[in-house]
Amino acid sequence: MADCRHCGLDVPADSPGGDTFCCPGCKAAYDLVRGLGLERYYKQRSIDPGEAALRPDADDAPRNYCAYVRENDDGLAVLHLMVGGLHCAACVWLIENVLMRCKGVVSARLNMTTRRLVISWRKDEVSADDLVSKISALGYRLAPYDPAKLEQESTERQNLLLRAMAVAGFAAGNVMLLSVSVWSGSGDDMGPSTRSLLHWLSALIALPATAYAGQHFFRSASGVLRQGRMNMDVPISLALVLTAGMSLFETIRETEHVYFDSVLTLLFFLLVGRYLDLRARGRARAVGEHLLSLSAGAVTVFDDDGMAKVIPPDQALPGMTVLAAVGERIAIDGQVIEGISEIDRSLINGETMPCPVKPGDAVEAGSLNISTPLKIRVTASGEDTLLAAIVRLMEDAEQSKSRYVTLADRISRLYAPIVHFLAALTFAGWMLFTDAGWQQALLTAVAVLIITCPCALALAVPTVQVVASGRLFKRGILLKSGSALERLALVDKVVFDKTGTLTRGRPELLNHAMDDQALKLAASMAACSKHPLSRALVRAVPSARPASGVMELPGQGLSLATPDGNIRLGRRHWCGIEESTPSDSPELWLARPGHPPECLQFCDTLRPDAAEIIVQLQDWGLQPELLSGDRKSVVSDVARQIAIADWRAEALPASKVARLEELKAAGGHPLMIGDGLNDAPALAAASVSMSPSSAADISQNAADIVFQGEKLQPIVEAIWTARRADALVKQNIGFSFLYNAVTIPLAMTGNVSPLMAAIAMSSSSLVVIVNALRLARN
């Protein structure tokens, strides 16, 4: 199978573009490039020195990307890359489109804000190196995803832009002084020779400065043109070259129409806008990148002979012993083997209170050791840690396409042909219908080229998604779907499961009539069992120590032989209680020789803020409903305590799904919150779903959102954030359309100079980003 002579993709056997082109569009583009004598543009793109960290030929760049491929649960190969040379939404659309047309590729999503590209494909149909070569052929720089290298590359780009800004600003100031001299002497005081000399001095300053300071735009534009493509830097470069070329031509002719000062001032403001845009995107970048950077330092490990050495975290293998010093952030997942301390798990679960740990307890990467040094046995490192898994969930959510992203993508891909058509139309209209001359017509067309930019529209949705997911993550809420926030904003009913959702999901000792000695005896026997009620009893009496000689009879209880006779702790019938009426609450009975049997009652307590959250949801106009498989008496009691009027007991998984389908059929948008194995079908059937982190694995997999902690506050936090994010997205998209609807006609009619166009273009992107960042501050 041959490669297309234009885009390099495989040519299908039945291609309408013939044997050498994959489609008629590629054939037409190839013929156009050849007709213009631009065959050299099909050569490899040059490298931007400001992004050298992502050069494919760098010393540390891998030659074989197959080593970085992972397999997901569906058996698909997945590769995470970072992309250099990404400038606009057209770049995103181009890369995704090229990859999706490759054989075997299932999905390809590039996040414009984080520059992270995630590709999944059927590994038996295409290799990772083949896919990487397709994108490299377009002139983009690819490297395995590395947060540290990404931060380094961003810093280098910022430094390059700062140097270019300094050169452009210094040159603009000097040329402006020369222009003031020309303007001041425009009457009879200055002769043509003096004016021409000042113009040539301006040219000597402006042309080299433009060539150096504009290289960020020129390299990007030339790179995509070599591949027969377009991006937003092409019209910008065209505007700069045309204005500078026109000024040089007029200088040679010794006329008055020279605009070297405008070229440099225009370039300066373009660079200012690009720099501020880069900085603002850095602030909006996914929290996960910064979290991975926190664990990207070094760890101290001990050899078999007890010698300590420092290695990167991803080189720590399971079974190694790692030292976590006081004040140090743990970089691996592991189990404490020595030391008693407190750790800050706020990055993992959103809880701000320190958590005590002792030998045998598990710790996670990203946790901060507070009190004393710990020795930890490694269980996972690098991409296998819980922190890395959380970040992958966030990236999946950020890179998923909502309907707003799809709309922005469709509009952005039409940008290049539309903007060039409008510029050409403007130039032709001014030449045909005005007497302003070709110089003014060209400057007006240049203003149109600059002011029409899709960046505001391209950033309208991704920046809000990234900021929203970062805000929620800081509060212990993980988004697993990019469209989850969009669907959550439409919710009109909240359906709860009971056990493990409204309640803690574990029994607690409720009441008893025992004396302290009997209670301690029961707890010492319970310490020998792993039954949930036994564990609850031990939690209620933490000073109890396991009794010796305790025997456990499965399904009945515990027995302890004493000189006075057997002591039993367990079911009522086994302990000699003949009454057959069961209690509504879980219970244990203690039977001792010479004493009547005594009862210990337990209950699954409500989460501490359950009633408060229900009231808040009702105040927002969201009607709560309780669906539980538990007994009617238990469910009604819980519903009464938290004021839920609409409840159903003894609900099977099928009946839960049927109820949710009934709500959706009536035009509703139910949110389902559950944690049990039986809740998984209902979570999948709801319009949007949430699960606590304590939920069964299958329930977490089915849920769109997972929240941490003992409280239900994350539910209202997620709903508020979703509604706020939806409003910001609509504001950003509305502003983007309004900006173009207002500025393009103004530019075409000559009411906007190229300088003002540059300021307006940069400001539009910044307005969208700053508006999205408001979500992080609230």
Active-site annotation, residues = 497
- 198 vs 254: CA distance, rounded Å: 11
For β-strands 70-71 and 362-363, DSSP reports them as unpaired
First to last CA, the chain: 55
Structure tokens given for 474: 């800081």
What number of other Cβ atoms are within 10 A of residue 194's Cβ? 13
Q: How many CA atoms lie within 13 A of 619 on its CB side?
A: 8
For β-strands 623-627 and 646-648, DSSP reports them as parallel
Q: Which one-letter DSSP state was computed for residue 63?
A: S
Beta bridge partners of 598: 590
Query: For residues 573 and 562, is the Cβ–Cβ distance under 8 A?
Result: no
Least Cα distance to 626 among 659, 665, 662, 661 occurs for: 659
Q: Characterise 437 by phi-psi region: left (phi > 0), alpha (psi -120 to 50), beta (else).
A: left
From residue 635, alpha-carbon distances to 499, 642, 649, 673 in Å are: 10, 11, 6, 16
- 533 vs 589: CA distance, rounded Å: 11
Q: Over the range 559-570, which residues count as b (16 or more CB within 10 Å of their CB) and which as e?
A: bbeeeeeebbbb
- 731 vs 456: CA distance, rounded Å: 11
HEC per residue, 664-723:
HHCCCCEEEECCCHHHHHHHHHCCEEEEECCCCHHHHHHCCEEECCCCCHHHHHHHHHHH
The backbone torsions φ and ψ at residue 703, rounded to the nearest 5 degrees and listed phi first, read: -80, 150
- 241 vs 694: CA distance, rounded Å: 61
Least Cα distance to 659 among 710, 703, 625 occurs for: 625
Strand intervals (E) in 439-518: 477-479, 493-496, 503-512
- 117 vs 99: CA distance, rounded Å: 11
From residue 113, alpha-carbon distances to 11, 53, 230, 384, 395 in Å are: 32, 18, 20, 25, 11
Place of tokens 């004040």: 327
- 84 vs 140: CA distance, rounded Å: 6
